[in-house]
Amino acid sequence: MRYVSTRGAAPVLDFADTLLAGLADDGGLYVPESWPTLGSGGRGDYVETAVEVMAPFVGDAIDADAFAAMVDDAYAGFDHPDVTPLVELSDGIHLLELFHGPTLAFKDVALQLVGRLFDHELSRRGERVTIVGATSGDTGSAAIEACRDREAVDIVILHPAGRVSDVQRRQMTTVPSANVHNVAVDGTFDDCQDLVKAMFADVAFRDEVRLSAVNSINWARVMAQVVYYVVAAERLGGRRSPVAFSVPTGNFGNVFAGHVARLSGLEVPQLVVGSNTNDVLTRFFAEGAMDIAEVVPTTSPSMDIQVSSNLERLLFEMGGRDGAAVGAQLDDFRATGRFRLDAVQHAGLADGWAGARFGDDEVRACIGDEADRSGIVLDPHTAVGVLAARACRRDPSIPMVALATAHPAKFPDAVEAATGARPALPERLADLHERPERLVALPDDLATVQDHVRSCRRG
Ligand SMILES: *Cc1c(COP(=O)(O)O)cnc(C)c1O
């Protein structure tokens, strides 16, 4: 399998090079040159289906036995034997729980595999990297858990001091591994992100420490997320019977993986995109237009995003895979802050997509009501997806699956406000608040942070 850039002007790569490259040289995102066709089998066993679904995307870039062993290992650490179990809500909507990994959010599903793939491929090449990232909460801990104790990787995560929740900070700072480094920056999340961007823009520094990232535009993350759409279909009626999905959406990586499953032959008549108050995507699906606005903080912070980077992959598909046209459309969007689909592109969206937005009040009511009715406690992100599923469902004879992207204990304040009870952390994290923390506090100063990153490298 070969990978092409959505802007059409970067080298064509195999899976392993795409994995390590992340973003394409021309600023685009990598996508497979063609979509594989799903076989008809599958018994709902997570690891078995995962190996089969991902094999055509990996091609011969990674040894098949080594790949299968990494998949097995990645999901052995999940809390539930089904890896991503299905439960039923009060109104018959199915909830696909994606939060049984180490950091209690769906990003673990992809990152647990991607960390292993990185380490495998770097070790094979005799290379090492320093992964640097900024986090406002969730992504940092998932990246740290994915990279801890990996030989070929050192990881440094910047977070804004005093501006992430206790649970979120402790999930990062209590990891005792020698290759894990946390920096509390005296500044905001945007300051952290600016520091990371500046480090990547400093070519000499980038080469010196072999800077790398595992962010949500990496193709391997999308690929690993395709699996649970297929697994859910298998468990509900088989790969050939239709299933609709509703996805609480930020960067559009998760829901795009559902679209990939559809392009590969899974029958998905409807993909519902749930948004919080930051609702550019709702307008995109309703009107074929987007206008950049300010990001508004909500109780579902991992969806507080205005420009969804993975949308570029959908635009590329809808526009007949014309990389030059996608590049021009996005340059124009950046310059004007406005985006318009042409009539043909918009018509192409009408069928299989829907979108809806919900404010924090509706989210709070949804969490409280569902806890009363079924005893199932939703986190605020998941509640957005459940609300969107209920609002947009077209055909009640087709099963609707809402994706549960975080464990309620990850957002205890919002959940307690909705239900009156504070959700408990799972057993294995019960002593999180007693574990020793490791972090350094640094000023918002590029040279100081760069010196620290240098000092974190092993070997
Ligand atoms: C990252 C995240 C999302 C958004 O997923 P995208 O792939 O960025 O659309 C939703 N919910 C939770 C809990 C997340 O951590």
Long-range contacts of 279-283 (CB under 8 A, 24+ apart): 279/357, 280/306, 280/307, 280/308, 281/249, 281/252, 281/308, 281/311, 281/355, 282/355, 282/356, 282/357
Alpha carbon distance 106, 138 (integer Å): 10
Evaluate the CA torsion angle 238, 240, 246, 248 in order and state its sign. positive
Q: For the chain, how many residues are written?
A: 459
Single out the residue of 328, 330, 327, 326 nearest to residue 317, CA to CA: 326
Domain 86-104+219-419, CATH number (from 3.40.50.1100, 3.30.1130.10, 1.10.3720.10, 3.20.20.480) = 3.40.50.1100
Sequence-distant (6+) residues with CB within 8 A of 235 are 44, 86
Residue-level pLDDT at 287 = 87
Report CA(173)–ligand 1 centroid distance (Å): 22
Residue 384 Cβ inside 6 Å of ligand 1? The answer reads no
Angle 161-166-167 from CA coordinates, rounded to 5°:
130
pLDDT of residue 52: 97
User: Probe ligand 1: pick from 29, 100, 106, 272, max atoms within 8 Å of CB?
Assistant: 106
Minimum CA distance residue for ligand 1 atom 2? 302
Q: How far is CA 197 from the centre of its chain?
A: 20
Q: So what's the pLDDT on residue 435?
A: 97
From the CA of 252, give the closest atom in ligand 1: 9
The per-residue pLDDT string of the chain (459 residues; one tens digit each, 9 = 90 and over) reads: 999 999 999 999 999 999 998 889 898 999 999 999 999 888 999 999 999 999 999 999 999 999 999 999 999 999 999 999 999 999 999 999 999 999 999 999 999 999 999 999 999 999 999 999 998 878 899 999 999 999 999 999 999 999 888 888 999 999 999 999 999 999 988 899 889 989 988 989 999 999 998 888 899 999 999 999 999 999 999 999 999 999 999 999 999 999 999 999 999 999 999 999 999 899 898 888 988 888 898 999 889 887 888 999 999 998 889 999 988 988 898 889 898 888 877 887 878 999 999 999 999 999 999 999 999 999 999 999 999 999 999 999 999 999 999 999 999 999 999 999 999 999 999 999 999 999 999 999 999 999 999 999 987
For position 351, what pLDDT does the model report?
Answer: 81
Query: DSSP letters along 125-169, please?
Result: HT--EEEEEE-SSHHHHHHHHHHTT-TTEEEEEEEETT-S-HHHH
What is the structure's pLDDT at 144? Answer: 97
